[in-house]
Amino acid sequence: MVKIFSQNRMSAGLLATLLVLSMSTAATASSRYDVSATAQKAQHAGTQYFIEFRARQALSYGHTYATFGRLNGQGKIVESRVAGLHPAGDSPVPWMIGHVFLVPSETGASDGDLEERYVSARYRVPLSEAEYRKVTAFIADLQANSPMWHAVLYNCNAFVADIAKFMGLKTPSSTLSYPADFINEMRTLNNGGRPTTLPTG
């Protein structure tokens, strides 16, 4: 009788353990389709690299750019670079002329890009090391071949869209929207997650 009771307790314990494991597995599978920031962070907790498409406030209508680099184990940025298209120099004159004519551009960080308080929209995509190397190589090539800026023909939204398209992400149909609207729409088009496939080296 004692032996049977002991076996029943063991069976019940085993059944409870299997039930917990089953629920845990189901929750993990479900989280793969959760596009919230929390679920993404949990799903890609081991990811070391990232690219984040950003919009920031400015005295004009704002600016769109990308920041990319390395994360620590808690998902905090420990190393990053910036790429974005904008008129060359600090004077507002090229920016004004660039609404009519093509003007020389720069493709690094502009004033305000490194200040978190100015960020108005963001969309982060975690990357593996192989993906990161491929994406950053494309960005370097894009920077080397983007000598001109124009408010309509080729602006900061268009520059960021080229990076996103290379990665297989969907982008807004127009590059003439406000930077924050552009980034928010791009995040919505991609359900806040990663593309189905990313280029690998």
Same domain, 69 and 12: no
Q: Is the domain of 9 the same as that of 58?
A: no
Instruction: Compute the chain's Rg from CA coordinates.
Output: 23
Cβ-count burial of 27 within 10 angstroms (0-12 exposed, 13-18 middle, 19+ buried)?
exposed
Which structure tokens are listed for 107? 């493709």
Order of strands, sheet of 63-71, starting from the edge strand that comes earlier in the sequence: 77-83, 63-71, 49-56, 119-127
Same domain assignment for residues 84 and 19? no
Report the domain count for the chain: 2
Same domain, yes or no: 144 and 175: yes
Q: Are residues 60 and 15 in the same domain?
A: no
Strands (DSSP E) found in 21-145: 49-56, 63-71, 77-83, 86-87, 103-106, 119-127
- Per-residue pLDDT at 195: 74
**Residue 23: per-residue pLDDT:** 37
Tell me the mean pLDDT in the region 67-86: 94
Residue 42 sits in the same domain as residue 12: no
CA distance 14 to 22: 12
* CA–CA dist 157, 64 (Å, integer): 6
Q: Residue 151: which domain range?
A: 37-189
To the nearest 10°, report the CA torsion of 178, 117, 99, 158: -60
Same domain flag for 61 and 18: no
Same domain as 136, residue 65: yes
Is pLDDT above 80 for 47?
A: no
pLDDT at 114: 85
pTM: 0.75
State whether 16 and 104 are in the same domain: no
In this structure, the answer to whether residues 110 and 168 fall within a common structural domain is: yes
The answer to whether residues 90 and 9 belong to one domain is: no
- Of 105, 109, 37, 40, nearest to 69 by C-alpha is 109
Indicate the range of 43-57, 93-107, 109-123, 129-143 predicted with least confidence: 43-57
pLDDT of residue 120: 96
